[in-house]
Amino acid sequence: MPVDTRRDVRTRSGPGRRRRQVLPAVVLGGALALTGCSSGAPSALDPAGSGAGRVANLWWLLFWLSMAVFAEVMAVLAWALLVRRRPGTRVRHGQPLRFVTVAGAGIPLVILVTVYAVGLRDLAALGDDPGPRAPTIEVTGHKWWWEVRVQGVDGATANELHIPVGEKVRVRLRAADVLHSFWVPQLMPKTDLIAGEVRETWLHADRAGSYRGQCAEYCGTQHAHMAFLVVAEPRKDFDAWVARLAAPAPAPRTDAQRRGQEAFVQGTCAGCHAIRGTGAGGRIGPDLSDVGSRWSIGAGAVPNDGGHLGGWIANSQTVKPGNYMPPQPVDAGRLPDLIAYLQSLK
């Protein structure tokens, strides 16, 4: 029998073949999405403190309850389809009202009341005041960075705050412009920052480490580059951090650093940035007194190294478009000095 080869070819490259290509693509896409979830991004299901621990427990309670309800519904459905529809089966209606009352109203009511009660308990615990002896850290959200101060201490830093391990720390939140949201997935659920209001939350870490935080409320072009780091460390290291915030920035030790400081203080930098103990006292941008020790430049935009720092100073708009720092007319000969000085601030 002659075979219509044209038709054969059309079938292989037609919709049937496309369907066969869709399945692997979906599987591959799903696998990639899942690996994205485990690429070291902080997860609220990997809690490192009592606040996030409550949220994780609530999440698992809801998950297992949902799974139990799903399994129960599927079992009843399977039973109805497989057993009750067998030909010749005599249907006994029993007591349908009792079934509907128990399965349709009673069980859901018990589940909902339980979840509501647990939710209320957790809400109250998360809203608890950490007590009068807890250190207070003041955080202000700006487009697009975090100003960090410790109550009673003069100095400021940016995009990084330290807490003592095992102690509750009060965090007082303000917004300088628009809505932001303070979120450290492994330590505490989100708290919104609202302009004109002072909100409070607390942080508590069970174990030492660095925990990434992120602005969790869309606040403009660079919302994604509004990250911060919470460093949980032994009490004596925390005390040392607070002491460093109160002290002047380290003095320049080399000639290059001295020239860099001069360029900073006498140039345009000092109009927006402060460095404690120098003539630079700008309050528009982040305080740079400890910029050399920070984990990133631009609130998570790029790593903090000499190359990125130079690129940032020359034209930060290419790194984080839309941020409020205009390109700087820094003499190419002075840029290495400026970098050397800023990197020495730690």
**Which is closer to ligand CUA, CB of 141 or CB of 286?**
141
Q: Supply the minimum distance, in Å, between the C-beta of residue 157 and ligand CUA.
A: 18
Binding residue (CB under 6 A) for ligand CUA from 169, 219, 274, 345: 219
Task: Please work out the total of residues on this chain that contact ligand CUA, with binding judged by CB under 6 A.
Answer: 9
- How many C-alpha atoms does 226 have within 13 Å on its Cβ side? 25
Pick the binder of ligand CUA from 42, 141, 185, 260 (CB under 6 A).
141
Does 226 help bind ligand CUA (rule: CB under 6 A)?
Answer: yes
Q: At what angle do helices 255-266 and 335-343 cross, to 10 degrees?
A: 100
Q: Is 176 in the site for ligand CUA (CB under 6 A)?
A: no
How far from each other are the two terminal CA atoms of the chain, in whole angstroms? 85
Q: Is 223 in the site for ligand CUA (CB under 6 A)?
A: yes
Minimum distance, C-beta of residue 40 to ligand CUA, in the bound complex (Å): 21
Q: What is the DSSP letter of 83?
A: I
* Residue 305 neighbours by CB under 8 Å, 6+ apart: none
Site string for ligand CUA, 188-217 (x = CB under 6 A): ---------------------------x-x
Residue with smaller CB distance to ligand CUA, 79 or 218: 218
CA separation for the pair 345, 251 (Å, rounded)? 8
Which of 170, 174, 180, 244 binds ligand CUA (CB under 6 A)? It is 180
Cβ–Cβ under 8 Å, residues 214 and 226: yes
Nearer to ligand CUA, 157 or 344 (CB): 157
Element (H, E) at 74: helix 50-79
SS3 for 225-242 is: HCEEEEEEECHHHHHHHH
- Give the residue carrying structure tokens 């870490």: 205
| Of 223 and 346, CB closest to ligand CUA | 223
Cα separation, 286 vs 207, in Å, equals 29
Query: From the CB of 229, what's the least distance to ligand CUA, in Å?
Result: 16
Residue 160 touches ligand CUA, criterion: CB under 6 A:
no
Backbone angles phi, psi at 319, to 5 degrees: -90, -45
Closest to ligand CUA by CB, 145 vs 238, is: 145
CB of 176 to ligand CUA, least distance (A): 10
Give 215 or 325: the residue with its C-beta nearer to ligand CUA: 215
Q: Longest Cα pair distance anywhere in the chain, in angstroms?
A: 99
Say if residue 162 is exposed, middle or buried (CB neighbours under 10 Å; 0-12, 13-18, 19+): buried
Interacting residues with ligand CUA (CB under 6 A): 141, 144, 180, 215, 217-219, 223, 226
